[in-house]
Amino acid sequence: MADKVILTCSECLSRNYVTTKNKKTNTQRLEVKKYCPKCGKHTLHKETK
């Protein structure tokens, strides 16, 4: 079962992306390098609750 997770920019803390994650296979928090429109550059985005 895939659940929705929100990805937050690690620099400006804006919530930019929503994605799905299988919580049975991936127990750790998701960390992806994505583009932040507020910062204007690629930054590390982490999963929030």
For residue range 1-46, what is the model confidence (pLDDT) as tens digits?
Answer: 789 999 999 999 999 999 999 989 988 999 999 999 999 999 999 9
| Alpha carbon distances (Å) from 42 to 1, 12, 23, 35, 39 | 30, 12, 26, 4, 8
* Paired strand residues for 32: 45
> Where in the sequence is the domain holding 20, given as residue range(s)?
2-48
pTM, full prediction: 0.84
Q: How many domains does the chain have?
A: 1
Which 8-state DSSP code applies to residue 32?
E
Is 24 in contact with 6 (CB distance < 8 Å)? no
Q: In this structure, how many other beta carbons lie within 10 angstroms of the beta carbon of residue 46?
A: 16
CATH number of the domain at 32, please. 2.20.28.120
